[in-house]
Structure 1
Amino acid sequence: MDSIDEVQTALAAQDYVCGRALATVVFLSLKLGRPLFLEGEAGTGKTEIARAIAAALGRDTIRLQCYEGLDAASAVYEWNFPAQMIAIRAAEAAGSADEGVPHRALFSDDFLIERPLLQAMRPHAAGPPVLLIDEIDRTDEPFEAFLLEALSEFQVTIPELGTIRAPEPPIVILTSNRTREVHDALKRRCLYHWVDYPGFDREMDILQARAPEATEALSREIVAFVQRLRREDLFKRPGVAETIDWAKCLLALDAIDLSPQVIADTLGAVLKYQDDIARLEGSEAKRILEEARAELSPA
């Protein structure tokens, strides 16, 4: 992908519709070999872009799902202790108990379980993989510090085997839902982009790419309603992922347009908290639908 336009075209071929600003930072990340840090609300397409980039380039995707308590060992490797114990007992049964199993044999690639960071450092036939470090904000500062070191050198150290360096740096994409602030030192290693909710036209393009079976009239009502819904005082505003899920649910119900009853029956596809769903009971859904249709009427 040798230009910003090529990036947009390649991603669109994977049904990922993005604006020029996001396409630009993706292009620069690929061109300069810099990690890409994507921050924004959940459901705005941060994770999906990693898969789209990998598919467009014909590369493998390796995902490290972050969580509270994640440590370096869990992200890099672990030893297959049950297999090691079987090897020791097999040696004993074979009569070599006095000699035992050589230390270097027990701690070799045969018993190594590779986790995402180590997998990303290995050679790949198709070229450097896309390493997705998803929801980095769920981890803690010690893991951030380790990650900063690993990404600066693109290498990891296994005490029993030594240092393993990537022959070619992987394409690194980090995402954050901003449940907490990520340390500036890690951000400085990356190119940064805030992934916001799309405008009406772009969300229409996304929905038509992901749910092409929906008529244009139904798609316009869905997008207008969701866009209007995001302006309500909700605990969790629906993302693009919820827009797509809702459209597919409506299609499964053979809905041809929105109505207060259809909305009430399918709110669980677009809102994920009971308090938010309760807010739209009664006349609220009808009010939002009428306001959404009023905004559509000039078009």
Structure 2
Amino acid sequence: MDRVRYLVETAREVAHIPEAGRRAAVERWLLEYAALNVHLDVIQAVVVAEQLARRYGYWAITDERSWDRLCRVPLRTELEWSLDGVYPADFARPISTPGPRDGEVELFLPEDVPGAPLDERSELVGHRDVAAPEVPVPDFMDFADCVGERERAMLGKIVEVHGLVRWEVDLPGGLPCQLDFEDPEETEIYGGEIYFHLNISPFAANRGVMGMVLQLTAELMVLYLLGVLEDPGDVEPDAREWASPLELELAAWLAGRRLRLDARTGPVAAGWLMDPHLPAPEELRWALVFDVAEAVEGTLLGHRYQVND
């Protein structure tokens, strides 16, 4: 089964949970597990988290105080457990997740491995390095008062996908930021043409530059993943016509947490996250949210994102 099929099946399982409070708990559990476990990619983490929700029992994951403990229970392959001299039992129930080349990887909990320590907890991965530039990129020192060196390196990664983050004083309607396709520019300095700009208003810098960069990158990835950029037509494409504010903001929020960025949550997502008993609207496309989050993360870290066939 390919990665997209895994993701769609997982999203369908969540959507079919009949009780609203239980569905709300599972949705938030998937987000939390994916946010913390960056040693798995987003799709792997979500697929694992949904199976763990059924394995632990929904009653266990409704208590947010248990999330840190449950999210850090080690999951290892049979080979990885064997390095410690222990092996999964015959009765073990593996957690399946997508692996390389449309393969499948089986992971095992300590409770399925006789002799494994049941109280072990994995250390969470902190800040991951941004890949070195592949083309000459600006140093973005004009953003130095707002973001750190690692964040400026992420701005450089947007250049590699033919975009440029810039300050823009005159944004329409008093917008704090804007994804702009109207002003492409030819440049030999940055490895080719700049097709789009991520415009940031300096008057909105106190809202958090990286939060706005995450938002605009999520908008870009929605347009890319849904094929809108392949034939944009005469009208400048607008991601808000293709995805809801909650879908866009949750994707940006999840990517920001996985990147360990201190970024403000969008207002719609913040409102939803504040009510743990409120499930997402039925029309929300979780598969799109997670796919976009993975694309945003990959773009800003410098891992070239490829559409899954």
TM-score, normalised relative to structure 1: 0.26
Q: Which has the larger radius of gyration?
A: 1
